[in-house]
Amino acid sequence: MTADTLLKRAERLSERSGLSITTISRKLLNDGKGLERIRNGGGMTQKTLDQATERLDALEVAETPRAKELLSPEAMTHLDRLEAEAIHIMREVVAEVENPVMLYSIGKDSAVMLHLALKAFYPAKPPFPLLHVDTTYKFRQMIEFRDALPERLGVDLRVWKNEEGIAKGVNPFTHGSAVHTDIMKTQALKQALSHYKFDAAFGGARRDEEKSRAKERIFSFRTADHRWDPKNQRPELWNIYNTRTAPGESTRVFPISNWTELDVWQYIARENIDMVPLYFAGVRPVVERDGTLIMVDDDRMPLHPGEKPMEKMVRFRTLGCYPLTGAVESSADTLPKIIEEMLLSRSSERQGRVIDHDQSASMEKKKQEGYF
């Protein structure tokens, strides 16, 4: 970045946030007159520039000018409309369904969903619990992040593990990704929903993720044995949602159906939403298997002969079970950098998930069988 770009960005931030150039200058350069000098052609060292750039990154994220923006009767942006739609959907569920739950996967889509729930019911807390289906092979940082939630946000968090699966020692290494996912995730989810008698479950799935999801309703009906019938979906018109189910049946509700990956990231940046650190680049121990970088997150991971964890600067585009989630080499350690990388890499996000590679129509099959 040049001094010129820095100045341009600072001016834009000033316009957007209402902070004066002098204030911004002081925050970036410890000198209220610094930006003024740059404007008049003054130079600076590369080190100063780098430091100022870093501070500007942080400042831009911190200065989310929401309230101010909403005060002026401007047209709603696409993010505003998506946000309003999601809030409407959540309120509809809470008003009409007896025992709803929010499936919380700890990933970025869940983070957005949770944030939307905090908004939808403010000043009340979200009037439903969060449910995390713990396969016992999630990244440790995910679990730390999850366990801090109740205190940080005042939400009711429930964790479900398939104890049968644990007793049988099901794991992704000896049983393979398909069996592990089925027993520890799909079956566990069904157990939890049946156990708590949840009759509606929010999920963070998006229609842009995968083709069969593009056709799924926002309120997606499930039979008593949790199956989805793509041929027999309820018509869904306007924003009038049919929430009715018979005892035992349930509904999966996807409030962020109409969001894209870019929308999600942009919203995280705009709203300053806390994320699991794994999304940001950091030095982590990984091994390379079948062209995929797998992080050695704990000592349960058996190393192949000759395999030795390498310390690499990596991050994750999607989060799941650590042995099944590919890392990408990256230096993106801020939100703008992550978005930049995403835009440049042009590779859709589910590619990092080993389970989807099985076959082209695999997701549709999984969904019919009760995968979320």
Candidates 262, 302, 310, 331; binder of other proteins (CB under 8 A) is 262
By C-beta, is 167 or 240 nearer to other proteins? 240
Considering only the stretches 136-144, 175-183, 207-215, 276-284, report the one whose residues sit in contact with other proteins under the rule CB under 8 A: 207-215
Dihedral over Cα of 313, 317, 320, 324: its sign: negative
Of these, 78, 140, 195, 227, which contacts other proteins (CB under 8 A)?
78
Amino acid at 179: V
User: Least Å distance between CB 19 and other proteins?
Assistant: 15
Give yes or no for residue 364 binding other proteins (CB under 8 A): yes
| Count of beta carbons in the 10 Å neighbourhood of residue 147 | 13
Q: Which is nearer to other proteins, 94 or 179 (CB)?
A: 94
Binding part of the chain for other proteins, among 183-191, 192-200, 232-240, 315-323 by CB under 8 A, reads: 232-240
Amino acid at the residue 83: E
Among 26, 39, 91, 158, binds other proteins (CB under 8 A): 91
Which residue lies nearer to other proteins by CB, 83 or 297? 83
Measured in degrees and rounded to the nearest 5, phi and psi for residue 101 equal: -145, 155
- Check residue 77 for interaction with other proteins (CB under 8 A): yes
Residue number with CB closer to other proteins (191 or 243): 243
Q: Cβ(4)–Cβ(44) under 8 Å?
A: no
| Residues 295/282, Cβ–Cβ less than 8 Å | no
Using CB under 8 A, which residues numbered 4 to 23 contact other proteins?
5, 9, 12, 16
List the interface residues with other proteins, window 330-349 (CB under 8 A): 336-337, 339-340, 343-344, 346-348
Query: Considering only residues 109, 134, 182, 208, which one is a binding residue for other proteins as defined by CB under 8 A?
Result: 208
